[in-house]
Chain A
Amino acid sequence: MASGPIAIKRALPGWIAAALVAAIVLGTLSAVAMRAEPGRGLGPAEWAAIRFTVSQAVLSAAFSVLLAVPVARAFARRRFAGRRLLISLLGAPFILPVIVAVMGLLAVFGRSGILNETLRFMGLPEVSIYGLHGVVLAHVFFNLPLATRLILQGWQDIPSERFRLAAQLGFTTRDIFHTLERPMLTRTLPGAAAIIFAICLSSFAVALTLGGGPHATTVELAIYQAFRFDFDLGRAALLSCVQIALVGTAAIAALKFSTRDGFGAGLDRPVQRWDAAHPLLRIIDTTAIALAALFLLLPITLVILRGAPALTSLPTSVWAAALASILIALISTVLMLALALPLAIAAGIHSARLETVGLLGIAASPLVIGTGLFIVINPIADPFALALPVTATVNAIMALPFALRILTPSVRDTHANYDRLATSLNLTGFTWLRLVLIPRIRPNLGFACGLTAAMSMGDLGVIALFADPQTATLPLQMYRLMGAYRMELASGAAVLLLGLSFGIFWLFDKGGRARADA
């Protein structure tokens, strides 16, 4: 790890960004805690919630990552028409609003879903989706795309020259696995698992709905209850600390496990896998891709089929909300970049620990951040007037961990591989950023921006605390439609939301790949 004056200078904005993120997350948390009246501590119900939260998150992370490996390997080894589009499409579940995704899953696995209708038709016993397995199924549905993308990124970071050399040396698939793929996987998997573990820790609506009852209680639900019915800010803050401790432990462990040696620089030649031509491998890869596509796309297709007819009858208020959502998504993306790029540079070349600061974003409960911001803003300004910027900021912080996980490894590799050359050419400051870093990490940058924009689009978190009728976002408007029994229109709004989230993700992602698609 180089830590000369240049490295320290490059890391400085990152430390500032880290301080800013920590100030927002921890500052809001202490704002909530300071308003707290003495409440009761953690009772047996809370401990049960903690146990369930951790166990379902462990299972969900393990299954998501393990299932993602064959899918990512298949995509890494195969080149076919529409591959890029399929990879993008498979990312769709990750950006779906929870309620839409659950409806889609139920259309397949539910009591009157396709699966059970088929089983009934064949005279076989029905299966129930409700229970721990349902929670894990839903979490795999949400996170398999992210895991696949993160692992596929790992594959793509192996320069094609390595595979070329391997082919020249007559490596078998097994040899390639041992010398190239296994080291890559040991580097990528813990990080991917940790981030999915952290996401699943804060799951709440999915865990409750598919968990089937109060035994499926998560910490986030306990925070919700403390805030809503008890207005026990002390307990909400205490539970938030529990949540942050859980996620923080996971993050530090994962960063410790991941080794940081790169594969060296390459010339960005297209990857050719001479070893993958074997027919058996071809069948394995095709099956992996087909199964993943079926599992991820069927529920979404059913949601679209149901909601599409209502698209034309959506009222103007829904379109206005869509516009507000797009605006928030774009502002969040800009804010995310302003935080994530310096952080990734600092974490990549100076101190990897900085990435844990970014993880605070998923560790903190949106409800607590929202409440904290409200307490902080309320004496100085009208919180309603700040609804849009506040939502955009919180969304940017929520997306930060994902962006960092996507950006940091590529920044690290760029630094490790090109820093000597850049230093000898005296490339520093913005010139270095423009000529060396940005072109090397452009696909990752596009992916991170797309993810942030899409996640922000589908988020219902903080806006509910700050919204007035004029600034409703699309997900909020969808809930309002449901609250007024307009389920048909709500499913139409869901399709619009899906289309927008996906469209904005695709635009950014494609923008990032415009050059790299060789």
Chain B
Amino acid sequence: MKYLSIAAGLFAATTAVAETPVLTVYTYDSFVSDWGPGPAVKAAFEETCGCELNLVGAGDGAALLARVKLEGARSDADVVLGLDNNLTAAAVASGLFQEHGQTVTVDVPNPFGEAGTWSDTHFLPYDWGYFAFVYDNTKLATPPASFDELAASDLKIVIQDPRSSTPGLGLLLWVKEQYGTDAPKIWEALADNIVTVTKGWSEAYGLFLEGEADMVLSYTTSPAYHIVAEEDQSKSAAAFGSHYMQVEVAGKLAATDQPELADQFLTFMTTDAFQSIIPTTNWMYPAITPAGGLPEGFAAPIAPEQARLIAPADVPAIRDEALAEWQAALSQ
């Protein structure tokens, strides 16, 4: 009898859950971790949506798209959050995403059009940042201010492999965008500065913190983590004249069975409730600066005219060319 009532209770509980609509969002691993934005975002959205938000960590940025392509139309996911500007062209080409139909005004620099406008019809931004070389300001007083200065110095750097890592790809495109046909020369000049190339960001940043290199490719916002969470002022990002951008975006899957909730989530994503969580959990600039401004310790972003970006649609072709040059220059 006791078991029967437990079973009945369990059954009632599962049906109760089943009545609440569930919105499934695929995202990258660090987003859903206890230290990422996931838990706070889930709580905030569930307060208003009358639904359950199921955040699923599915690898990192690039693996996320591969995952959605694998699952195809059968995917449980309604929304994918965590692709970046280098992946959106491939994502749209897959035909798995549908247009969001929303208009937003954003605080993301726009090198291709009027400030504040967002022209991507399939994806909406939630945060962004600049790639930069991070260094220890107690050991390095005058950091290089350009790739040329870096190449001329005897400073040691760690970078990520563009074939396995999103920041690595960002650096590749940064050099290509800034130097064009001279990009191979820059890589050849940088070759003796590169201590090593790692599989992902974690390995590279770990090596830097261990003192294996003077600088590491990361984000201009990385020092904010050390300042805010560790009260450690010793990390800074080297200011190059211009920096390549990464814009992280989310989009709605064409095969979603919760289209209204998905729209609701994308709208929620651009509100203060979501945006104010981003800076101190994802350590990136929020796509729309929340009413309270940026937390202390966050340097104000550099001027928008210093932003570098390759139009998402052009990325796939340019990437292949730049990758071949990179491999040739560094394999000697």
Chain A residues at the B interface, C-beta cutoff of 8 Å: 35, 45, 48, 99, 102-103, 106-107, 110-112, 130, 204-205, 208-215, 221-222, 224-225, 227-229, 231, 315, 317, 371, 374-375, 378-379, 382, 384, 464-465, 467-469, 472, 476-477, 479-487, 490
Contact = CB atoms under 8 A, between A and B. Distances in A.
Contacts of A35: 70
B211 A480 contact: no
A482 B66 contact: no
A214 B168 CA distance: 12
Interface stretch (B201-209, B240-248, B285-293, B294-302): B201-209
Given A99-B203, A482-B206, A485-B283, A130 B196 contact: yes
B199 A110 contact: no
A480 B29 contact: yes
Interface in B187-218: 191, 194-199, 201-203, 205-207, 209-213
B331 A214 contact: yes
Contacts of A214: 161, 197, 326-327, 330-331
A476 B58 CA distance: 11
A374 B38 CA distance: 25
A481 B33 contact: yes
Interface of B: 29-30, 32-36, 38, 55-60, 62-63, 65-67, 69-71, 74, 76, 90, 156, 161, 163-164, 169, 191, 194-199, 201-203, 205-207, 209-213, 222, 225-226, 229, 281, 283, 319, 324, 326-327, 330-331
Most chain A beta-carbon contacts within 10 A, residue among B70, B211, B319 = B70
A481 B175 CA distance: 30
A211 B196 contact: yes
B229 A485 contact: yes
Given A221-B163, A482-B206, A468 B327 contact: no
Given A209-B203, A213-B191, A485-B222, 6 more contacts: A228-B63, A229-B169, A467-B29, A468-B56, A469-B33, A480-B35
Nearest to B29: A480
Nearest to A112: B211
Contacts of B63: 228, 464-465
Nearest to B224: A485
Main secondary structure of the interface of A (DSSP, over half): helix
A215 B212 contact: no
A483 B202 contact: yes
Given A214-B331, A317-B34, A480-B29, A375 B56 contact: no
Contacts of A208: 161, 164, 196-199
A483 B57 contact: no
Given A213-B331, A214-B161, A464-B59, A485 B210 contact: no
A384 B283 CA distance: 28
User: Can you list the 4 inter-chain pairs with the closest CB atoms, starting with the nearest?
Assistant: A483-B30, A112-B211, A484-B35, A225-B163
B218 to A, nearest CB: 10
Contacts of B326: 214
A359 to B, nearest CB: 25
A212 B213 CA distance: 12
Nearest to A226: B163
B212 A106 contact: yes
B225 A485 contact: yes
Contact of A476 (B29, B56, B191, B319): B29
B198 A209 contact: yes
A214 B163 CA distance: 10
A315 to B, nearest CB: 6
